[in-house]
Each structure stands twice: as structure tokens, then as C-alpha cells.
Amino acid sequence: DQQVKQNSPSLSVQEGRISILNCDYTNSMFDYFLWYKKYPAEGPTFLISISSIKDKNEDGRFTVFLNKSAKHLSLHIVPSQPGDSAVYFCAASSFGNEKLTFGTGTRLTIIP
Amino acid sequence: DTGVSQNPRHKITKRGQNVTFRCDPISEHNRLYWYRQTLGQGPEFLTYFQNEAQLEKSRLLSDRFSAERPKGSFSTLEIQRTEQGDSAMYLCASSLVAGTNYGYTFGSGTRLTVV
């Protein structure tokens, strides 16, 4: 039972354009959402998070949007840079729970 | 602070052998987590410690798996009688604060190959 879904295994974006990565979830108990970035041979690195009481959180070039009614979140990267090429994981947790539930990841390739 | 350190980076073992991995968290972090990542999947939760107490275990952690954090610092994950299905990347992470609001800091993982 995949509670966090990333339906696009890969995405290619021209350098300087906007990258939009999508994530859907099924568990209504999830109230905190995170994005991680992973380079080959490294562990995932925390990027940005959002609480369910918000619908947007911004940090520099990265913005996460949350649509609770649709159980959908997205990560926007603008402008996209070559160093953004990596696998991006969406993750979710519920209040008081230390466990993260991850999606299967989206491989983002930025084309110079 | 060198981050979360995991050893070894790679381990190849024959089916049926026992293996042990080590994780050294960031020194002031009292929470330590183990995750497993198989090909094409995201990391899956295995277990977590607060100091030396193991507070939660996933159903993925069969009786062949055991994790310890004896003094609330480093942790070990042992797999007994390895099977080919155990082949995966084993990730350790640590955090200072409760909950996941600030994200964990992950190590680079130990890649296990069972032949």
C-alpha cells in the first residue's frame, strides 16, 4: 500500500526554467510533508518542509505547495540549475510519529 | 561535526552469513533512525531510538534483524542468516528534536549485496 506516490519517475527541464515535481498521498493522518534530494552514492538531504496548517512554504529557489483537499503537494524549483539534477523524494509524517513515509522518487535532470 | 557516518559503505556477503553495520550519528543528536532502500523505491522505515531506547520497530524488521544503541551514541544493525531479498541500501539518520519537522540528517548508507 503506497501511501505516498510520486507518479513521475523522471523529469527533464531546461536550465533556467521552472521544475515542478508532484506528490500525492492517501493517508489523511499525514500532517507534515518534506522534500529530500538525493545524489548518487549519498544519503538523502533535507530540502524543505510544510505543515498541514499552511498551503505554501518558500525557501530561496524552492517552494512547496500543499493542497489538502486534493491530498497533493508539489515542489517548484525556479530557476532550475544543473546542480539540481538529482532524485527528489517526497515524504510525510503524522503528528507525534517519528517515522517518515517516502514516495518512490522522481529523477530530475536539468539540461544545460 | 562530520555528519552521520556509516560503515562499511559496501558489503558483499554470501547468503546465510551474518552481517553488522555501524552508524555514528551527529554527536548531539539523541534520535537515531534506520531505513532501508531497495532499487526503485524510497527509503522505508525500520526502527528508531531515542537515546539507548528502541521506541519503534517496523514489521519489516523480521526476527533476523536486530538493532542496538547501547550507550545512546553509535548504533549497530545486524542481519542474521542473510537472504537475497536483504540486498538493499541501509540508511541511518539522526536528529536532535522530536518529530520530523526539521528533517533528519541521513548518512551515505551501507549498500548490502547478498550473493
* Residue of B108, B100, B96 lying closest to B22 (CA atoms): B108
Helices and strands per DSSP (H, E), number in chain A: 0, 11
Burial of A13-36, coded b for 16+ CB within 10 Å and e otherwise, reads beeeeebbbbbbbeeeebbbbbbb
Residues of B in contact with A101 (CB under 8 A): 45
Instruction: Give the pLDDT score at B34.
Output: 97
| Side chain identity, residue B94 | S
Residue listed under C-alpha cell 489538502: A68
Per-residue pLDDT tens over the stretch B82-99: 999 999 999 999 998 765
Per-residue pLDDT tens over the stretch A2-56: 899 999 999 999 999 999 999 999 999 999 999 999 999 899 999 999 999 999 9
Instruction: Give the pLDDT score at B62.
Output: 87
A37 touches chain B (CB under 8 A): no
A104 touches chain B (CB under 8 A): yes
A57 touches chain B (CB under 8 A): no
